[in-house]
Amino acid sequence: MKKYMQHLIDNVDFSDYYLILENFSRRNFLKSGITGILGGLAAGIHCTKKKQTSKSKNFDGKHHYLPREKTHNRWNKDIQPVLRVNSGDIVTIETKDASDGHFTLKSTFKDVATRDLSKVHPLTGPIYVEEAEPGDILQVDILKYELSDWGWTLVAGGRGFLPEDFSKEYLQIWKYDKNKKYAEFKKGIRIKLEPFCGVMGLPWDEPGEFRTFPPRKNGGNMDVKYLTEGTTLYLPVSVKGALFSTGDGHAAQGDGEVCVTAIETDLTVTVRLSIRKDFSIDEPQYENDLFYATTGVGTTIIEAAKKATRFMIKHLITNYKLSPEEAYVLCSVAMDLKICEVVDLPNYLVSAHIPKNIFV
């Protein structure tokens, strides 16, 4: 026990002890005793211990906690930040579901028509990142997701990828054991739980308020199902401080999100926010251990796919010293185009993935 406690002291930044206690459920505090407290502290080690990754430039950051009450649902560069962090800091962020709590486990299809669309997409933030200037890149290392145990999916009559085929409201309520890693749709049909935030983004340098529905060059409602735990997202910065916000938690989603919604749910996400000044991009890009991806946003799928491909060619030329023709050929034989977002008009989003295992 003495060695274990010394290990905690050596590895935990106790100036952030409040975060560790937040990670430890208050409901279980009294009945868990010292064993539960030690477990909570141990769970906090990975959050506060200094950890190095090849993608980040600053690894000595503090760990902050941002509750789900700190939300907005418009892009606006003049919204005051609810948290200020340094480059390299880690933030655990609670998010609300896309309906802002309208749906419950007891909801039926009748509740679809009564939802308030003005409240859609509550985003936790904005987070001001010191050192961030226009032209920089915000690197978002997605470290961890924590699922709730239920979610919902709706068909909104007259919306989605096939509005002419589906005019009636429909609501699917999902109840699942998050520890089993799947949700049961019907008997004999299981959906793997792969949580991610549908919205991660920054405002741009234009006055006024903008709805969060369409994906844009700032990121936003990209609905990229690959932004899972272990992925790093790169966002171009347009305003001082970057002003990062996130929300629209999904427990699972297919590419395209064709009926407008995924398994919508509350999520808690832990990210590391770092400022990069050593390269530039025009639109979001992301990577994990398996692939590097560029994205393209356009008013047609063709336009979006062409932009994603051109950005990938540029990436290959810059990072692998290929000629334009060599990069184009490599894309043709190894790159996969993913249609990520088709239902939040006027914009579509397509990703281009290149596998890392081809570079030996």
Domains and CATH numbers, the chain: 2-48 (no CATH), 63-279 (2.60.120.580), 291-358 (3.10.28.20)
Q: What is the pLDDT of residue 330?
A: 98
Share of the chain above pLDDT 70, in %: 83
Q: Are strands 219-221 and 267-276 parallel, antiparallel or unpaired?
A: unpaired
Q: Are 280 and 106 in contact (CB under 8 A)?
A: no
Question: Residue 31 above 90 pLDDT?
Answer: no
- Give dist(CA 322, CA 165) in Å, integer: 46
Which two three-digit tokens encode residue 46?
């990975």
Question: Residue 186 above 70 pLDDT?
Answer: yes
Mean pLDDT (whole number) for 155-179: 92
Higher pLDDT residue, 44 or 235? 235
pLDDT band of residue 178 (cuts 50, 70, 90) is confident
Q: What is the pLDDT of residue 60?
A: 66
Mean pLDDT (whole number) for 304-333: 98
Higher pLDDT residue, 23 or 166? 166
pLDDT band of residue 262 (cuts 50, 70, 90) is very high
DSSP 297-351: EESSHHHHHHHHHHHHHHHHHHHH---HHHHHHHHHHH-EEEEEE-SSTT-EEEE
Answer whether the bond into residue 163 is a cis peptide, omega within 30°.
Answer: no
What pTM was estimated for this model as a whole?
A: 0.83
Q: Are 348 and 255 in contact (CB under 8 A)?
A: no
pLDDT band of residue 130 (cuts 50, 70, 90) is very high
Q: What is the pLDDT of residue 35?
A: 41
Q: What is the pLDDT of residue 22?
A: 39
Question: Residue 59 above 70 pLDDT?
Answer: no
The CA-atom distances, in angstroms, between 112 and each of 108, 123, 171, 211, 331 are: 8, 21, 7, 20, 43
Nearest to 338 by CA among 355, 354, 316, 353: 353
Mean pLDDT (whole number) for 148-172: 93
- For helices 29-48 and 2-11, the axis angle rounded to 10 degrees is 50
